[in-house]
Structure 1
Amino acid sequence: MEEVPTEISIITLNCWGLKYISKLRRERLAEIGHQIAIADPQPHIVALQECWTQEDYRSIRRQTRFILPYGKFYHSGAFGGGLAILSLWPIEESTVFPYSLNGRPTAFWRGDWFVGKGVAHAKIRYGSGPKHIVEVFNTHTHAPYEHGPNDSYICHRTAQSWEMSKLLRGASDRGHLVLALGDFNMLPMSLEHRIITANAPVRDTWRVLHPDSSVGPADHPSERARRRPIPTAEFNIHENGAASDGPYNTWRWTKAQQKLLGPGKPEVIVAPDTIDQRGKRLDYIFAGCGDVATLGGGWVVRRVSVGMMMRHPDLRCSLSDHFAMEATLVFHPIESPGTGHPADKLPVRMTATTRFGPDSDTIMDDKEDKALHNGTYLQSPVPSECRGSKSLDSQLMAALREQDPLPGAAYDEILAMISKYVARERSQRRWRARHFFASVAVSVACFVAVWFSPGNYVAFILMLLSSLGLVAGTIDGLLALLFFKSELRALKEFQWQITNAKAAAGGDAVSVPDNTDDNQGW
């Protein structure tokens, strides 16, 4: 084993590599592998999401094998979870933890249930000491297909955050450095976000260095309540970490704008002062600090940035529909009282796609241009020396302080969410069970009617209707018996855990009794 490192550089990226669906998949993922191989600083750990095929994974591995010789492609579900972890150091153990609530097989066009989403775990040894271990948890949670109060999958993502937080807490209790990486499909400071940071000893690395960053896109109610000016594209990248849905990403452009891209065409540059109302942060790097008592210090955040913003050199498109999140952790030894270190002053990192000139093509409509000249939104990032970044000492002390627990209102919100979702699933289960019995009755009626029908096409139609109806009813019956029953039991388990955690947070050391049974609404 080589000398114990004092820095760990991390990249997490949703590759948008859905087979048959994602455009230009092979070319883009091959370039992603190339960019990881030449990244500066050189990454030590990389987490990939939506890398669905072995072909794409091997393509990335071929290009990164010299800087990241160890890797694991994770298998789950009917079509695979799309998760992979690459590492400079040996992977001693790996596990896949499937989520107990993970979409519905009836929503087959969405696919979340079929890919078996969960948490990919890798235990990586970076040194010879007993605590020189980093446990990496890579995930891609359920996608939010609706927004606001109509989000039918918010209960799923809340349960997934809860399960992730328990995994992180367990790894931290073992005295290991903990990293949670991936596309969490949640907004900063949302309930799902607060569950992770309150229930596990980890920090959102972006908010460590950017504590005043946005809590959603400009038009989100939580962000509007902050009464901040609408940001520009550049500000959203450097200050808010908005790696999704921003104007820099060509896959978020209109079809007319995308037609300007392609082999042999000039690069189209997005002006940095373009208004950005949709950009948001869905991708995260959560990090613990390790066993400070044993190691004589802890891991703190030196750098965070949005990365992989370059475009494909030939196709001129963005490499994915997400940009990467990058961070560098540095080991900070415990100093005697009164010493301390100054905060790092890192320059804003510019990329090729953010440079522009007076003769460059830009993408900005009249509304955006008017907003720019009226000064109604933020036009440039706050200078790096004014960001309020914590010093390494204060970071470590803050990480070691006892975490603020979830308030009782948050537990009540989760319990109300579970009750609402249980009522919905019970209604669906009853409807599908009734459909099954109705289809059986209709099928029997059709068979009886065949006896009295003339020997022509009428009998054929009756048999066809009987067969199709019985197949559809049987499928609904199996769903009612198997899927909805198992999901209701998972919800019952989730409810007990939240109720018990609420009681413990209120000072009750005794676990709450499990008084619910199948005759009480489950």
Structure 2
Amino acid sequence: MARSVQPVDENHLEKTVKLLTFNTWGLKYVSKLRKERLRAIADKLATEQDGDYDIVALQEIWVEEDWKYIEERCKKQFPYRRIFKSGIITGPGLALLSKIPIESTFLYRFPINGRSSAFFRGDWYVGKGIAVTLLKPHTPGSTPIALLNSHMHAPYSHTGDSSYACHRSCQAWDFVKIVKMLKKSGYAVIQVGDLNSKPGSLPYKLFTIEGGLVDSWESIYGANANDEIIEPEEIGTMTFEDQILIGGVTCDSKLNTWRANRQPWEACRLDYALVDSTHISTVNAQVRFTERLEPPYNCSYSDHFAYSAEFLIKASDNSRISKSAFSSSERIDVFKEFLLNLQEYQRYTIPEQTNWRRFHFFAGIITLIIFHFLMPWCAKISPYLALLVLFFSTVLGITAVLNGLIWYFGVRSEARALEEVQMEVEDNLTSLKDE
């Protein structure tokens, strides 16, 4: 099926900015062929002629060795480079390669980023957030770019608490606040990364309706290109090739060797470049890095495909004001959906986590005290029984204290952070209704 593409003014080609965003799947000990794949990515970025990117935003660069190789290999092609390191075990995995000079950078860490009780998942430990890079104007007189790179909390199921839909919505809310501030400051905002949110989801609505950003893929292949927007549920009915060419699929494609066991309906678009259309026009968009490494590996470069877009950055004009393309009623509907999402999580998940962890703590401590009084009696009956009771009481004590810490410091902190977000949304909703 052929897709219509907006014509490009040849006079503007020299002024365009080419961008690539890529989740590289760089987890140490977990990602297969990590070193080989990331080195192949670096080699391709350093030598590829048809790409010729101006900006490359990377996610899941979690091993220092990998970043050093990428930086050394790409230093001639990309003279300006930055990796963000703030985190407990490792950094957020966010890195940037750029031909455009960097003016300044900062990392905003998400205050809501997973449950502390889910210690077996790494989202909270790595300190996920938004890597903000302010770039200098790429041509004289053009609007300076503010690039927001992120890898939002992963879903571990399609529904329920493990989907982490509430956490991603809160992270999207933080995104919107930063986007609005940068837009008011006169920057051309580009939001990129693996946002772990499908088109039409609540985070996506926050980005586009409340944040006022435009999906660059839809700008080329959606309604603006005189075609119907592809709904997520339609992806599963397409051929695997069309899922990429028409649907813009970057994740869980059966053409990806690391996801070949996925069902066709699981293929989705999670990697984006969302832009402020006041200052930016999208002139091209493609899914990239769909080919495989050379033998003997014969594998995909990552468990995601990369996404590339080309933009025309408009001339700097302080009088240009960004106006929302959505009505107040649409924004109100998004706020209401967000509040329901928050309230449901606070009504069910928070009490469940609180009650279980608190019960385990107090019951465990009381049982531990009882075991201490029973120890002499057990020793008289059998030394092995005493040893067994000692071992059990030790395990019980450790787990009880751990659950107590999770309850008092983790769950309580998460609940207060969620209440803060709820009050912010309510403030915005009230203000919008009063207009």
Coarse TM-score class (shorter-chain normalised): 0.7 to 0.9
Percent same amino acid among aligned pairs? Answer: 31
**What letter corresponds to residue 167 of structure 1 in structure 2?**
I
User: What residue number does 1:99 align with?
Assistant: 110
> Does residue 340 of structure 2 align to residue 416 of structure 1?
yes
> Does residue 137 of structure 2 align to residue 122 of structure 1?
no
Q: Take 1:412 and 1:142, find their aligned partners in 2: how far apart are those partners?
A: 22
Q: Take 2:162 and 2:251, find their aligned partners in 1: how far apart are those partners?
A: 19
2:91 to 80, 84, 108: 80
User: What residue number does 1:312 align with?
Assistant: 293
Moved over 6 A (4+): 128-131
Which TM-score applies when normalising by structure 1?
A: 0.73
1:34 to 33, 36, 43: 43
User: What residue number does 1:156 align with?
Assistant: 167
Q: Take 1:121 and 1:400, find their aligned partners in 2: how far apart are those partners?
A: 20
Could you report, residue by residue, the CA deviation over 1:458-512 in whole angstroms, capped at 9, with x for unpaired residues? 332222222211111000001111001110010100100111111122125xxxx
Could you report, residue by residue, the CA deviation over 1:110-143 in whole angstroms, capped at 9, with x for unpaired residues? 2111111111111111358687421111111111
Which TM-score applies when normalising by structure 2?
A: 0.87
Q: Take 2:391 and 2:51, find their aligned partners in 1: how far apart are those partners?
A: 65
The answer to whether the Cα contact below 8 Å between 1:94 and 1:123 also exists between their aligned partners in 2 is yes
Could you report, residue by residue, the CA deviation over 1:242-275 in whole angstroms, capped at 9, with x for unpaired residues? 11122221112249xxxxxxxxxxxxxxxxxxx9
Q: Take 1:477 and 1:161, find their aligned partners in 2: how far apart are those partners?
A: 30
Q: Take 1:129 and 1:507, find their aligned partners in 2: how far apart are those partners?
A: 42
Q: Take 2:268 and 2:391, find their aligned partners in 1: how far apart are those partners?
A: 51
Structure 1 residues 214 and 199, CA gap change in structure 2 (3 angstroms): same
User: What residue number does 2:306 align with?
Assistant: 324
**What letter corresponds to residue 72 of structure 2 in structure 1?**
R
Structure 1 residues 249 and 39, CA gap change in structure 2 (3 angstroms): farther
User: What residue number does 2:276 align with?
Assistant: 288
Q: Take 1:118 and 1:331, find their aligned partners in 2: how far apart are those partners?
A: 26
Q: Take 1:178 and 1:68, find their aligned partners in 2: how far apart are those partners?
A: 21
Q: Take 1:444 and 1:276, find their aligned partners in 2: how far apart are those partners?
A: 55
Cα deviation for residue 91 of structure 1 reads 2.0
Cα deviation for residue 159 of structure 1 reads 0.6
SS in 2 for 1:9: strand
User: What residue number does 1:253 align with?
Assistant: 260
Q: Take 1:316 and 1:432, find their aligned partners in 2: how far apart are those partners?
A: 47
Structure 1 residues 331 and 127, CA gap change in structure 2 (3 angstroms): closer
2:400 to 450, 468, 473: 473
User: What residue number does 2:192 align with?
Assistant: 181
Could you report, residue by residue, the CA deviation over 1:331-365 in whole angstroms, capped at 9, with x for unpaired residues? 3569xxxxxxxxxxxxxxxxxxxxxxxxxxxxxxx
> Does residue 282 of structure 2 align to residue 301 of structure 1?
yes
Could you report, residue by residue, the CA deviation over 1:158-213 in whole angstroms, capped at 9, with x for unpaired residues? 11111111111111110011111100111112221110112223211011111234
Q: Take 1:128 and 1:410, find their aligned partners in 2: how far apart are those partners?
A: 37
Could you report, residue by residue, the CA deviation over 1:8-46 in whole angstroms, capped at 9, with x for unpaired residues? 110000001111011100110011112222152411111
SS in 2 for 1:85: strand
The answer to whether the Cα contact below 8 Å between 1:131 and 1:176 also exists between their aligned partners in 2 is no
Structure 1 residues 131 and 433, CA gap change in structure 2 (3 angstroms): farther
The answer to whether the Cα contact below 8 Å between 2:155 and 2:162 also exists between their aligned partners in 1 is yes
Matched residues, number: 407
> Does residue 56 of structure 2 align to residue 68 of structure 1?
no
**What letter corresponds to residue 421 of structure 1 in structure 2?**
Y
The answer to whether the Cα contact below 8 Å between 2:143 and 2:314 also exists between their aligned partners in 1 is no
**Equivalent residues in 2 for 1:246-395 (5 A)?**
246-254=253-261, 276-289=264-277, 298-314=279-295, 315-332=297-314
Unaligned segments of structure 1, at least 5 residues:
221-229, 256-274, 291-297, 335-396, 509-522
**What letter corresponds to residue 391 of structure 2 in structure 1?**
L
Bigger RCO (CA 8 Å, 6+ sep): 2
Higher deviation after alignment, 314-323 or 141-150: 141-150
The answer to whether the Cα contact below 8 Å between 1:97 and 1:118 also exists between their aligned partners in 2 is yes
**Equivalent residues in 2 for 1:394-413 (5 A)?**
401-404=323-326, 405=328, 406-413=330-337
User: What residue number does 1:24 align with?
Assistant: 33
